[in-house]
Structure 1
């Protein structure tokens, strides 16, 4: 039980681990945990729409894909040019302490291999989460988001994710809540 308590504290560290790419974008901030949550919801959605993938497996891959960053930190694309991390050691060291260590290791190996349908969808969910963040910052005036978007799109492997990325990029990020109902926004209640 002590090892599980340690694991839960380690996972909690992701709430305080920043995604470092935003410093290069010039605006925005997000923790690894925030990123992983939305990526997991996106992965679930992709798997449901795909109709062939094991939905639970995609969710599991998304949920666990960045846990090693509690030990290694988040490295952005600039960092990765110069810094090498031993993520497999971080995975192995954690796996040794977990009663489901072998399953955790297999999950991480599948995600890294990018061979199964489920891992491709999980990787696409990871990139779509970044595309959503880029679109949100673009809508707030960050001109660099337009430069980053084409690279993120080129990382997508499934046609489903590519179509969704295009839709995301052409959708105002505030339209989900700001519905144009002037009466509501002026009076705070529905017109009868």
Structure 2
């Protein structure tokens, strides 16, 4: 049981591990844990756009794809030009004491190889998570985000992901909460109650 508890403490490190690429973008920040959460939701959504997909496998890969970064840290594209990370060693040492470790390492290996349809979906979910972040920062005025998005879009492999990316670019990141520009934004709940609303 101690090995399982150690694993759960290690997972907590993902909340404290920053995604380092944003230092080059000049704005924004995100932990690896925050990135994983959004990737899971994107992977789930992409499964709904595809046929004959092992949804459980996709969700597990989304969950585990960046787990080694609890040990290695996040290496952005600039770091990777100069630093080689032994992710294999991190995965081995992370999983060898867990009775379910083979399942975790299998998911990470499948993601890294990118050969299965499920792995391609997860890799696309990973990129779409970045594209969504970049679109948000672009909407807030970061002039470099469009160029970064253009590179990320070229990494997409599935039709569902490419269509999703197109719609992301056409949608203002605040539309989901600010599209009904009505009296609520002037009077709040008081205005609706006065007008017979709930």
TM-score bracket, normalised by the shorter chain, equals: over 0.9
Q: Does 1:94 align with 2:97?
A: no
What's 1:63 paired with? Answer: 63
TM-score (norm 1): 0.98
Once the two structures are TM-superposed, the CA of residue 182 in structure 1 deviates from its matched residue by: 2.1
Helix, strand or coil for the counterpart of 2:179? coil
What's 1:131 paired with? Answer: 131
Segments of structure 2 that go 5 or more residues without pairing to the other structure are none
1:93-147 CA-partner distances (Å, limit 9, x unpaired): 1111111111111111111110111000000000000000000000000000011
What's 1:39 paired with? Answer: 39
Segments of structure 1 that go 5 or more residues without pairing to the other structure are none
Distance 1:105 1:85 in 2: 16
Helix, strand or coil for the counterpart of 2:178? coil
Structure showing greater radius of gyration is 2
1:53-96 CA-partner distances (Å, limit 9, x unpaired): 11111000000000000000000000000000000110011111
What's 2:10 paired with? Answer: 10
Once the two structures are TM-superposed, the CA of residue 39 in structure 1 deviates from its matched residue by: 0.4
Distance 1:185 1:57 in 2: 43
1:5-24 CA-partner distances (Å, limit 9, x unpaired): 10001000000000000000
Distance 1:169 1:75 in 2: 26
Count of residue correspondences: 192
Distance 1:109 1:147 in 2: 30
What's 1:120 paired with? Answer: 120
What's 1:186 paired with? Answer: 186
What's 2:19 paired with? Answer: 19
